[in-house]
Amino acid sequence: MSTTAPSPVPSVEHPLEDGWTLPASWYTDTALHERERERLFARAWTYAGPAEWVSEPGSYFAALIGHVPVAVVRDMDGALRGLVNVCRHRGHLVVDGNGCRETLQCPYHAWTYNLDGSLRRAPRAEREPGFSSEGLSLAPVSVGTWGPFVFVNPEPEAPSLEEALGALPALVAESGLDLAALRFHSHHEWPIEANWKVVMENFLECYHCPTAHPGFSKVIDVSPDAYDLGVHPTFLSQVAPVRESALSGNGRAAYTPRGDVVQAQYHVLFPATTMNIAPGIPNISMERYNPDGLRRTIEVTDYYFGADVSAEEIEELVAWDTQVAEEDVSLVQSVQQGLESGTVPQGRLMSQSEQLIAAFQRRVHDALLG
């Protein structure tokens, strides 16, 4: 019997240390996609959903974390649990959406699990000689909370969420945002026709903002001396002040960013969780980006706002944010087309303006080849 060796990873001709990008082939190669699933998404803490969805005993929600379906559950004793949301019988997803129930039942053949993941009942099991529920529990995953947010790591023995967040909570607090006062507002999902790395790299620089985001740039000071970039052990950050013209209402900005939040902050928890804090009203949008094959990414966004924020204020900020997002989708889909052509094997980064991309690409490179 012959075996097929794993496909080799495309080489990096020009060193990243000299300012070159990852090769274009790294955005289109199947072997790399499989390594990313194993070495990045299966081992990382990723934002999963609102903690209020699992606030009561028996409550649960389902989420896709990278390529791993998970169920986050509050058991009857009040413990928060994370489970692989795949039935041990034939692989059907056990639950969908969110809700509250005393057991988790697969809709395919009614295999039923307790809230700790143990198999409670398999119809007709009594007819099967030697059938045992031992070893047929839903597999555990790591789960943790930060403020109103639930995070999941598919690795059951993962380091703690607190270790992964590092200095991020303290940095977020500097913006003036009180996470404890936030309430979940809405959930959105949409596809982007580009490799997930293209999407993340676009998020990690505002070098393009004056050209591509005029509405954003009227509110946020994106000048090189004002826009602060931070490379941290587990996350990458962008912090920027508000333009005085926007605060005064004289800059024709899409909204007036006055309020408790005094900074714009944009963070990436490696590899694919992002956090957006706009200045003004208490707000944050939490996002995760799930690779859907090589050339497609599903963006999942949850908005949170302060309890006293008005519907009009929310609508104004979301409209501004949506405009920026639509502009970004157009940009990254065009980049994907260029990378697909193979005509520019490696690009050249701007070492100051795009230092977060350089750090992100180095981490991807080391995780896949290290």
Residues of the chain with pLDDT under 70: 1-8, 250-253
How many residues does this entry show for the chain? Answer: 370
Provide the pLDDT for residue 10: 79
Provide the pLDDT for residue 2: 40
Q: Phi-psi category of 268—alpha, beta or left, where left has phi over 0 and alpha has psi -120 to 50? A: beta
pLDDT tens digit sequence for 71-125: 999 999 999 999 999 999 999 999 999 999 999 999 999 999 999 999 999 999 9
- How many whole angstroms separate alpha carbon 333 and alpha carbon 14? 25
Provide the pLDDT for residue 254: 73
pLDDT tens digit sequence for 277-330: 999 999 999 999 999 999 999 999 999 999 999 999 999 999 999 999 999 999
Provide the pLDDT for residue 3: 46
Provide the pLDDT for residue 7: 59
At the fourth CATH level, the homologous superfamily of domain 46-153 is Rieske [2Fe-2S] iron-sulphur domain (2.102.10.10)
CATH (residue range 166-369)? 3.90.380.10
- How many whole angstroms separate alpha carbon 370 and alpha carbon 276? 31
Q: Where are the domains of the chain?
A: 46-153, 166-369
CA dihedral 121, 83, 146, 324 (to 10 degrees): -120
Provide the pLDDT for residue 249: 77
User: Would the pTM of this model clear 0.75, i.e. be above it?
Assistant: yes
Q: Residue 346 in contact with residue 18, Cβ under 8 Å?
A: no
Asked whether the bond before 271 is cis by omega within 30 degrees of 0, the reply is yes
Q: Are strands 235-240 and 297-306 parallel, antiparallel or unpaired?
A: unpaired
Name the CA radius of gyration of the chain, rounded: 22
Spell out the SS3 assignment of the chain. CCCCCCCCCCCCCCCHHHCECCCHHHHCCHHHHHHHHHHCHHHCCEEEEEHHHHCCCCEEEEEEECCEEEEEEECCCCCEEEEECECCCCCCECCCCEEECCCEECCCCCCEECCCCCEEECCCHHHCCCCCCCCCCCCEEEEEEECCEEEEECCCCCCCHHHHHCCHHHHHHCCCCCHHHEEEEEEEEEEECCCHHHHHHHHCCCCCHHHHCHHHHCCECCCCCCCEEEECCCEEEEEECECHHHHHCCCCCCCCCCCCECCEEEEEECCCEEEEECCECCEEEEEEEEECCCCCEEEEEEEEEECCCCHHHHHHHHHHHHHHHHHHHHHHHHHHHHHHHCCCCCCECCCCCCHHHHHHHHHHHHHHHC
Side-by-side strand order, sheet with 273-277: 182-192, 297-306, 283-291, 273-277, 264-269, 235-240, 228-231
For residue 313, give the amino acid letter.
E
Provide the pLDDT for residue 1: 40
Side-by-side strand order, sheet with 46-50: 46-50, 149-153, 140-146, 80-84, 68-74, 59-65, 98-100
Structure tokens that stand for 113 in this block? 């699990």
CA distances from 304 to 148, 191, 323 (A): 9, 21, 18
Do the domains 46-153 and 166-369 sit in the same CATH topology, yes or no? Answer: no
For residue 101, give the amino acid letter.
R
